[in-house]
Amino acid sequence: MAVQQRSTVRDGRGNKLETYVLTHFKPVWTIIQLIPPVRKRVNKILINRVIYKIPTRPYPLSTMAAYTSWDSLTDRTFTGRHLPPATEQANELPAIDAVIQLFERQSKTVRVSPKSTLLFSHFAQWFTDGFLRTDRENYLKNTSNHEIDLCQVYGLTRAHTHLLRTHRRGMLKSQVVHGEEYPCYYYGPDGTASTEFAGLPIVVPPDVDPAKKATLFAMGVERANVQTGYVMMNTLFLREHNRICGELAHAHPDWDDERLFQTARNIAMVLLIKIVVNEYINHIAPYHFKFRFDATSFVKERWYRQNWMSLEFSLVYRWHGLVPDRFRLGGQDFPAEETMFNNAIVTERGLGGLFEDASAQPAGEIGLFNTPHFLLDTERASIELSRLTHLRSYNEYRRLCNYPRVTAFDQITGNRDVQIALEQTYGHVDNIEFYVGLMAEDLRPGSAVAPLIGRLVGIDAFSQALTNPLLSEHVFNERTFSSTGLKIIKRTTSLSDILHRNLPDSKRKYRVSMTRSDSA
Amino acid sequence: MAVQQRSTVRDGRGNKLETYVLTHFKPVWTIIQLIPPVRKRVNKILINRVIYKIPTRPYPLSTMAAYTSWDSLTDRTFTGRHLPPATEQANELPAIDAVIQLFERQSKTVRVSPKSTLLFSHFAQWFTDGFLRTDRENYLKNTSNHEIDLCQVYGLTRAHTHLLRTHRRGMLKSQVVHGEEYPCYYYGPDGTASTEFAGLPIVVPPDVDPAKKATLFAMGVERANVQTGYVMMNTLFLREHNRICGELAHAHPDWDDERLFQTARNIAMVLLIKIVVNEYINHIAPYHFKFRFDATSFVKERWYRQNWMSLEFSLVYRWHGLVPDRFRLGGQDFPAEETMFNNAIVTERGLGGLFEDASAQPAGEIGLFNTPHFLLDTERASIELSRLTHLRSYNEYRRLCNYPRVTAFDQITGNRDVQIALEQTYGHVDNIEFYVGLMAEDLRPGSAVAPLIGRLVGIDAFSQALTNPLLSEHVFNERTFSSTGLKIIKRTTSLSDILHRNLPDSKRKYRVSMTRSDSA
């Protein structure tokens, strides 16, 4: 495609300055990060700057109604929203089929991300499936617990958790395959769901053949078997949970199964949040300053409010462009479809190898014209959701987020083909739908995502992660985690840390990175 | 009883000073309250001082377990707690029967409050039943929505609300009796529950005779018919809801039933919160400075966290001493039992008269040896709850609340008989149970309650009322309430305001006051 320089005249002076400062003066940022009290203070200031870009929770509105009611303020089965629905009927919106064409991957091979590996893609999909959970029966509703609660591993309800536990020494049910620990198989040898997991809602598409079905695991949420990347993340946290139980049981021989389980879960959840801040968000952001997990510095912020996933956040996170057409695993190429609902690949490769493979292959680039064919129906669902909820336009969301409205297509992207396609589809920049505009923007230099995505992800990720009750003022302490737990939290800073303490061969080192080894 | 001066040596120097300042220098406080910006600032400082006396939410513990888990941090069907359970088994606790004797009203007539009228008693009972809702099937759990949501009027669930609505013009179902509006009768003429209210959980004791049963109303919660005071408060807010609907329908002829209902409810809930702060809390407190409803000044406070009713709060509020043995209604004396589950009294007297009667009769005094005979079983339940939850002692709660532990019985009360009874029952002040200690303390001069009660009520009342989502930064505005609604909120400062606009004879003025006309 013909790529030129994007016009930055509508980026906003304050935004440009902020980005300039954060992506230059590397020596200054280095020094700042060498002085812990300064680093902590700057970390707090920058995280607050990220979050305060838009009004904070409670949201006045949810998908329940176009006005505020006691029901809408309290019923989190409806999804929050940052902007009220558009009032004028959007007669001038293009046909959905025309919009879907803007997403379809054009070339035979994926357009790759200059920065991200597949590990980033896997992590993003798995992580967000824990809280961005549109109810497939009713798009206005959700099945989310609205917290980073590792429901992917533990289940969405206490009843599901119950089925996944051994009820001995705090451990989750697991099995050993090829010398490594994995979740248990969900189906028995006869092809029907194992009675011990009756009630656990594991979803399998009807066309999955019996041999693959036999490899599926009993895990916390419906689609946990969807892809090798999801399964490998779940396996990692299952192993870590059981490993933590061992440490806790050793330190606290008097604790019963329940206390071991609950405390291990407390610790595992915080490990995830820490990795989200220290590894995942820093991969997304292009800044010299690296954000740091900080549990208790934000108690006086007015963004410190009960979590409530928003409609816009759920759209912002539909990064289908990340998914390549083929996955390279153990030196062999698998078509993407082959890696879905197929855990034999996982158990044959082993967890270390899976992480190394995911860290070696580039992810696709997030953006238009890069959605693999098998995810186009999901793009359709996204557009349908936008229209069902009368979502306001891309330009109105720019304004919400402190970006000036764009006035020409070349302010969104430098890619001439994308400009033309947008113009043909929407006629005027003001007509561009939120979801399409998000995905049409060029990536920020050095960032894994485009500017508006980056802003919205930052706002929601920080404000939802750091308000987790486990991080609150009187909870984030030794009483909640035990001194063993606090030590585990302290000494863990990356996925690599967790992986390497959960492998059968403790000597072998694997490369574990969301960032491409050849990125700038 | 022999009453002497209580020893104040263990009141705490800071506490004494604070009380002294707040109950002296009247001219200074008067001037402060005449200058709105100063008043607002002082109001904020004083409310914060009240709340920050103890650690703020989220509570690390609930009644679920003695340690913190993800379940305990998220499942609000268990009740929060301020202090962890006592670790040592309380073998030395006296027999429950001995403790109950400390509560039993001694004389033939009630010991009256020097400050409060029955209106205070009625309001307190009715108001707290909206959120302090111990599950009678399992004392460790609750049936609370944890908010001041007027569930007494609207029901605890949307399904119950549905049954109580006319679904026309936003109105609640009502009927006219003797020319005044009341809730509908729950039972049909044949003595069985009316089918239109099927599913509404109205509880009636088995011994209520059919004539009384026929007078019971269909209202939001199980025990809403319990006493004339409860019924009169519910009737007032039902009338106000329907009246607001009329105002809204006039201002917004295009609004449908749903929007009228929801907006009227938004307004009615805020009216209640405003009255709680401006009238009810100021009645309780003995200060020259009068607290004021202020919706949005507290957004940066670290106490601004999701509500969660606590075990201790539910005990603090069991003010059975308030209830007299006889109620004077329309110049006639009724034994207390006669006023229970008996709404004929309500409809015959009329709402204006009921408020005037309740404002004319003194309430009982909150304290030991003043619980009417028919509430002694409730006292037993309180002690059982304390023991079931291994509640820490009175002295430990004093320490939590920044009061020095008492070292002698005469530091709790100046009443020699009470001192002796406490000593005979508990032996040592350190053994006194929380609930008993609370009720044993002498009232603060000029206050409706004793010091530790006052402190705990202030903490919980302010921090739970002012964090209601309707008062939040982006919700407390014209979009949520309409300009009509904001005007209603602004011009309402007392129960008297609400009453007088909801009476058939708009000229007649009734005295409406929680404070005795003859109090100092």
Q: What is the DSSP string of A5-21?
A: PPP-TTS-HHHHHHHHH
DSSP-derived letter for residue B85 is P
Distance, first Cα to last Cα, chain A? 22
CB A174 within 8 A of CB A245: no
Amino acid symbol at A244? I
Closest residue to B469, CB basis, from A58, A149, A265: A58
Chain B residues whose CB is inside 8 A of the A267 CB are none
Amino acid symbol at B438? L
CB contact under 8 A, A73 and B304: no
CB A63 within 8 A of CB A311: yes
Phi, psi of A121 (to 5 degrees): -60, -50
With CA atoms as reference, report the closest residue to B11 among B461, B455, B520, B448: B455
| Cα three-residue angle B192-B196-B197, rounded to 5 degrees | 70
The 3 state secondary structure assigned to B3-61 is ECCCCCCCCCHHHHHHHHHHHCCHHHHHHHHHCHHHHHHHHHHHHHHHHCCCCCCCCCE
How many of the other CB atoms lie within 10 Å of CB of B204?
Answer: 17
Distance of CA A471 to the CA centre of its chain: 19
Phi, psi of B94 (to 5 degrees): -70, 165
* Cα dist from A241 to A183, A266, B462, whole Å: 12, 10, 40
pLDDT at A367: 96
CB A80 within 8 A of CB A310: yes
With CA atoms as reference, report the closest residue to A281 among A461, A127, A114: A461
Give the minimum alpha-carbon distance from A216 to chain B in angstroms, rounded to a whole number: 27
Q: What is the pLDDT of residues B309-335, one digit of tens each?
A: 999 999 999 999 999 999 999 999 999
CB contact under 8 A, B473 and A302: yes
Cα separation, A379 vs A324, in Å, equals 16
CB contact under 8 A, B300 and A301: yes
How many of the other CB atoms lie within 10 Å of CB of B340?
Answer: 19
Q: Dihedral through CA B47, CA B51, CA B56, CA B58, nearest 10?
A: -70
Burial label for A182, CB within 10 Å (0-12, 13-18, 19+), is buried
pLDDT at B3: 66
Q: At a CB cut-off of 8 Å and minimum separation 6, what does B4 contact?
A: B410, B414, B415, B416
Chain A interface, mutation test: which of B73, B144, B150, most A Cβ atoms within 10 Å? B73
Give the minimum alpha-carbon distance from B385 to chain A in angstroms, rounded to a whole number: 24
pLDDT at A520: 61
**Window 38-67 of A, Cβ < 8 Å to B:** 55-56, 58-60, 65, 67
CB A173 within 8 A of CB A166: yes
Residue in B with minimal Cα distance to A73: B469
Intervals of chain A under pLDDT 50: none
Beta bridge mates, B78: B141
Chain A residues whose CB is inside 8 A of the B71 CB are 158, 262
CB A413 within 8 A of CB A440: yes
Provide the residue-wise pLDDT of chain B in tens; the chain has 520 residues.
556 789 999 999 999 999 999 999 999 999 999 999 999 999 999 999 999 999 999 999 999 999 999 999 999 999 999 999 998 756 679 999 999 999 999 887 889 999 999 999 999 999 999 999 999 999 999 999 999 999 999 999 999 999 999 999 999 999 999 999 999 999 988 888 899 999 999 999 999 999 999 999 999 999 999 999 999 999 999 999 999 999 999 999 999 999 999 999 999 999 999 999 999 999 999 999 999 999 989 999 999 999 999 999 999 999 999 999 999 999 999 999 999 999 999 999 999 999 999 999 999 999 999 999 999 999 999 999 999 999 999 999 999 999 999 999 999 999 999 999 999 999 999 999 999 999 999 999 889 999 999 999 999 999 999 999 999 999 999 999 999 999 999 999 999 999 999 999 889 999 999 999 988 6
A-B CB pairs within 8 A amount to 115
Phi, psi of A116 (to 5 degrees): -100, 150
Cα separation, A416 vs A449, in Å, equals 19
CB contact under 8 A, B304 and A304: yes
CB contact under 8 A, B60 and A269: no
pLDDT at B218: 98
* Cα dist from B77 to A70, A416, B309, whole Å: 20, 57, 10
Give the minimum alpha-carbon distance from B309 to chain A in angstroms, rounded to a whole number: 16
Place of tokens 């304290």: B367
DSSP-derived letter for residue A215 is T
Cα separation, B217 vs A64, in Å, equals 31
Report the length, in residues, of chain A: 520
Beta bridge mates, B415: B3
pLDDT at B89: 58
- Beta-carbon-side half-sphere exposure of residue A10 (alpha carbons within 13 Å): 18
pLDDT at A64: 97
Chain A residues whose CB is inside 8 A of the B262 CB are 65, 67-72
How many of the other CB atoms lie within 10 Å of CB of B52?
Answer: 15
With CA atoms as reference, report the closest residue to B144 among B162, B158, B163, B129: B129
Phi, psi of A61 (to 5 degrees): -125, 155
Chain A residues whose CB is inside 8 A of the B299 CB are 302
Cα separation, A85 vs A124, in Å, equals 28
With CA atoms as reference, report the closest residue to A492 among A246, A293, A229: A293
**Which structure tokens are listed for A112?**
């790759």
CB contact under 8 A, A305 and B263: no
Cα separation, A274 vs A162, in Å, equals 26
CB B132 within 8 A of CB B383: no
CATH of region A13-500: 1.10.640.10
CB contact under 8 A, B58 and A469: yes
pLDDT at B1: 52
State the pairing for strand pair A180-182/A326-329.
unpaired
pTM comes to 0.96
Cα separation, A142 vs B447, in Å, equals 48
pLDDT at B197: 96
Amino acid symbol at B433? E
CB contact under 8 A, B67 and A259: yes
Cα separation, B363 vs B260, in Å, equals 38
Burial B310-324 (b: 16+ CB within 10 A, else e): bbbbbbbbbbbbbbb
| Cα three-residue angle A96-A101-A105, rounded to 5 degrees | 140
**Window 477-516 of A, Cβ < 8 Å to B:** 477, 479-480
Closest residue to A70, CB basis, from B55, B262, B473: B262
Cα separation, A464 vs A424, in Å, equals 38
CB contact under 8 A, B265 and A67: no
**Window 437-476 of B, Cβ < 8 Å to A:** 469-470, 472-475
CB contact under 8 A, A158 and B265: no
Place of tokens 């028919």: B374
Cα separation, A433 vs A397, in Å, equals 10
Q: Give B400-451 as a DSSP string.
A: HTT-PPP-SGGGT-SBHHHHHHHHHHHSSGGG-BHHHHHHHSPPPTT-SS-H
pLDDT at B519: 82
Chain A residues whose CB is inside 8 A of the B67 CB are 259, 262-263, 479-480
**Which structure tokens are listed for B350?**
């009329």
**Which structure tokens are listed for B294?**
């202020």
CB B62 within 8 A of CB A258: no
Chain A residues whose CB is inside 8 A of the B69 CB are 262-263, 265-266
Q: At a CB cut-off of 8 Å and minimum separation 6, what does B245 contact?
A: B169, B170, B171, B260, B261, B264
pLDDT at B182: 98
pLDDT at B495: 98
Beta bridge mates, B371: B104
Cα separation, B59 vs B313, in Å, equals 13
Give the minimum alpha-carbon distance from A460 to chain B in angstroms, rounded to a whole number: 17
Q: With both helix axes pointing from N to C terminus, report the angle between A351-360 and A118-128 in degrees, rounded to the nearest 10.
A: 110
With CA atoms as reference, report the closest residue to A443 among A278, A277, A284, A281: A284
pLDDT at A439: 98
**Which structure tokens are listed for A15?**
């935004």
Cα separation, A468 vs A304, in Å, equals 9
Chain B residues whose CB is inside 8 A of the A252 CB are none
pLDDT at A3: 66
**Window 66-85 of A, Cβ < 8 Å to B:** 67-75
Helix (H, G, I), strand (E, B) or coil at B311: helix
Helix (H, G, I), strand (E, B) or coil at A226: coil
Amino acid symbol at B510? Y
| Cα three-residue angle A149-A152-A154, rounded to 5 degrees | 70
Q: With both helix axes pointing from N to C terminus, report the angle between A257-275 and A478-491 in degrees, rounded to the nearest 10.
A: 50
pLDDT at A89: 59
CB contact under 8 A, B473 and A147: no
Q: At a CB cut-off of 8 Å and minimum separation 6, what does A51 contact?
A: A301, A303, A458, A459, A462, A463
Burial A401-410 (b: 16+ CB within 10 A, else e): bebeebeebb
